[in-house]
Every structure is written in C-alpha cells, then in structure tokens.
C-alpha cells in the first residue's frame, strides 16, 4: 500500500485545468490514515520539537493526530477572524489579492521548536506566511511537512529558499 494510491484526483476542481488532490479518501481509509500518521511519527520522534502547528483546515487533521501521537501541544493557524482570543496575523499575496492567517498570541513561546504541518504544498504562499508568523513570535521551524508536494508549483523551492527544511510523503506531477 502506498499513501499516494489512497489519494483521489479530481480533475478541473476548483477550476478548469486544476487537478485537485483530495486527501479525504486517505483519511477515510483506516490503514492509509494510520500509515500516514505513523510515517510522520517515525520521522519526528526525538527531533526536539516543542509544538506542532498546522494550517487550516485539512492540516488540522494531520497535525492534531501527529501532535497527539508525539505527546505535544497543537497550535492551529487559521484564516483571519476565526480564532476567538487575541491574535497576531500575517498578510500574504495570492494570485489575485491578499489573504491573512492568524495565530493566538499565547500559542508560541520564544524559543519553541515548531513543526509546521499541512496536507499539501502547492505554491507555498500560505506555508511561507505561517513560517513568518511563527518566527515573528520567537519560534523556530524545525521542518515544514506535508502529505503531498506539487513540485511543478514551486512551493518546496520557495520554502527552501527561505532556509526551511521541507518534507513530503509523496509528490504528484501535473498539478
């Protein structure tokens, strides 16, 4: 069983020409989901991580399960206006316009070693904004990890150009 074989491709979603990589088929498969989390647990056990931070929304599923298995706290990174307490935000560029992600002010302590998790790395804009946000709070990114990398869109290279380590369980050509 490969993790990649459990991920469904939906052509032309959300728009013409996009091959959407859908992890809901992986998540509903108890073996596939367990193998995915166990792969990450194996990689990050003993890595000196203090917290797992994940990006809304599918990143929460992977990140929370991983944090639980590693015995670490979980930090949600959300879109603007979704967190109830005092937050710090970071704006980033989209193809057309800008967006903002936020984190609670008390989520990251100075010196925390943080694993950043999401389901997929595409262009890397959101992950890059999450890295900047965590670093602005005094955290250090241990690694950015993803279930899927879409290498043609350049997100991995974008993060690596910032000096970040990037790990993905599988990649898909023809994003």
**Catalytic positions, please?**
58, 95
Q: State yes or no: cis peptide before 14, omega within 30 of 0.
A: yes
Q: State yes or no: cis peptide before 57, omega within 30 of 0.
A: yes
d(CA 159, CA 144): 8
122 token code pair: 């595409």
**Distance set, CA 110 to CA 80, 106, 139 (Å):** 23, 10, 6
- Tally of residues, the chain: 175
């Amino acid at each position: 069983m490969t993790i990649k074989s459990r991920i469904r491709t939906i052509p032309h979603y959300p728009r013409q020409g996009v091959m959407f990589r859908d992890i809901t088929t992986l998540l509903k498969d108890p073996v596939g989901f367990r193998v995915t989390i166990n792969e990450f647990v194996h990689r990050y056990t003993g890595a000196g991580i203090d917290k797992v931070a994940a990006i809304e929304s599918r990143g929460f599923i992977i990140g929370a399960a991983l944090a639980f298995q590693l015995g670490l706290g979980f930090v949600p990174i959300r879109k603007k206006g979704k967190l109830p307490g005092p937050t710090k935000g970071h704006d980033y560029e989209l193809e057309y316009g800008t967006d903002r992600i936020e984190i609670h002010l008390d989520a990251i302590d100075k010196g925390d070693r943080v694993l950043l998790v999401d389901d997929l790395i595409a262009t890397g804009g959101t992950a890059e904004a999450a890295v900047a946000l965590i670093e602005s709070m005094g955290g250090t990114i241990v690694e950015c990890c993803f279930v899927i990398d879409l290498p043609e869109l350049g997100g991995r290279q974008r993060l690596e150009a910032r000096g970040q380590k990037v790990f993905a369980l599988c990649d898909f050509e023809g994003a």
